[in-house]
Amino acid sequence: MKIKSVGVVGAGAMGSGIAQALAVSGINVVIIDVSDVALEKAKATIDHSLQRLVSKGKLADSAREVALARIVPSTEYTSLTSADMVVEAATENVDLKKRIIAQIETAARADAIIATNTSSISITALAAGLAQPSRFIGMHFFNPVPVMPLVEIIRGLQTSDETASAVHELTERIDKSPIGVRNSPGFVVNRILVPMINEAFFVLQEGLASAEDIDTGMKLGANHPIGPLALADLVGLDVCLSVMDVYLRDFGDPKYRACTLLRQLVEAGRLGRKSGRGVYDYPA
């Protein structure tokens, strides 16, 4: 199956990034969200991101205009009827994702592939309520999508070979590097990464070093391009907390307990860059 048009449900940071990556590579995109305000913000974000590529000489201005024209915003799931594939890119919440995926199956063509951008939730579990779980797959992009080259492709128990092959081909066509991953909480990258971030919060909570020194230590001592606490702010502290809670529930291993400091920051609304304050402050 050659995927020529894709629906993206969710116009947040991940959804808009996925839409941009697809559109720049010549794929027609319908991006769905519950409000016109969210969709307008997504289009503005995408345009700003493309403008930066133009200013750096990485994209022609004419190509920017063509890419933007390929992205059609909509608040109606009925707009998905022509899509060869639909990517769900909503918040990392099991119940929310299941509701959206059920709506996608109702609206999309019977042969359309349905993918989820989950970073930690079981693909098999999300597919369980579908009439055709064979066409369901995990397609985990990394933030920021336009910059990060990796995509984890996760097969559920009933994902077909045809579905996996089509998604693998699409991933390469949009200039991303796919890796095949077995279905397990956190998959590969986040299974390693998020507990490391959580441990950095424990180190900060115990007063072993300042946030700045923790991040500097990991950048210079482990050759990481960004420190774990700054990375948590970029990813979103609420996302990190949600992933740790999934690990604790699914593995039942206390080593995955979330740091109290991380939970308290989320409760205080300090979610990182997106809220203007997390471990660090981000002036408007």
pLDDT tens digit sequence for 198-248: 999 999 999 999 999 999 999 999 999 999 999 999 989 998 998 899 899
- Rounded CA-CA distance 183/168 in Å is 16
One-letter amino acid at 29 equals: V
Asked about 183 being catalytic, the answer comes back as no
| CA distance to 51, 129, 256, per residue, from 78 (Å) | 31, 20, 40
φ/ψ of residue 181, rounded to 5: -135, 140
- Scanning the chain, the segments in alpha helix (DSSP H) are 13-24, 36-55, 61-69, 94-107, 123-127, 161-173, 189-205, 211-221, 228-235, 237-251, 260-267
Count of beta carbons in the 10 Å neighbourhood of residue 45: 17
Is the pLDDT score of 1 beyond 90? no
- Rounded CA-CA distance 199/76 in Å is 42
Q: What is the mean pLDDT of the chain?
A: 96
Asked about 119 being catalytic, the answer comes back as yes
Say if CB 156 and CB 137 are below 8 A apart: yes
Say if CB 71 and CB 43 are below 8 A apart: yes
Give the model's pLDDT for residue 262: 98
Token pair of 257 as six digits: 């307990």
Given the residues 152, 183, 198, 242, select the one marked as catalytic: 152
pLDDT tens digit sequence for 76-113: 999 999 999 999 999 888 899 999 999 999 999 999 99
Give the model's pLDDT for residue 37: 96
Say if CB 27 and CB 5 are below 8 A apart: yes
Given the residues 16, 49, 119, 198, select the one marked as catalytic: 119
Q: Which helix (H) or strand (E) holds 117?
A: none
One-letter amino acid at 115 equals: A
Asked about 168 being catalytic, the answer comes back as no
Give the model's pLDDT for residue 91: 87
Given the residues 122, 190, 198, 242, select the one marked as catalytic: 190
Is the pLDDT score of 284 beyond 90? no
Q: For 183-203, what is the mean pLDDT?
A: 95
Asked about 152 being catalytic, the answer comes back as yes
Give the model's pLDDT for residue 171: 98
Domains of the chain: 5-181 (3.40.50.720), 190-275 (1.10.1040.10)
What's the helix, strand, coil split of the chain in %, to 5?
50, 15, 35
Assign 120 a pLDDT band (cuts: 50, 70, 90).
Answer: confident
3-state secondary structure (DSSP) of residue 180: strand
Question: Residue written as tokens 């397609």?
Answer: 139
Given the residues 105, 120, 140, 183, select the one marked as catalytic: 140
3-state secondary structure (DSSP) of residue 71: strand
Token pair of 83 as six digits: 């899509």
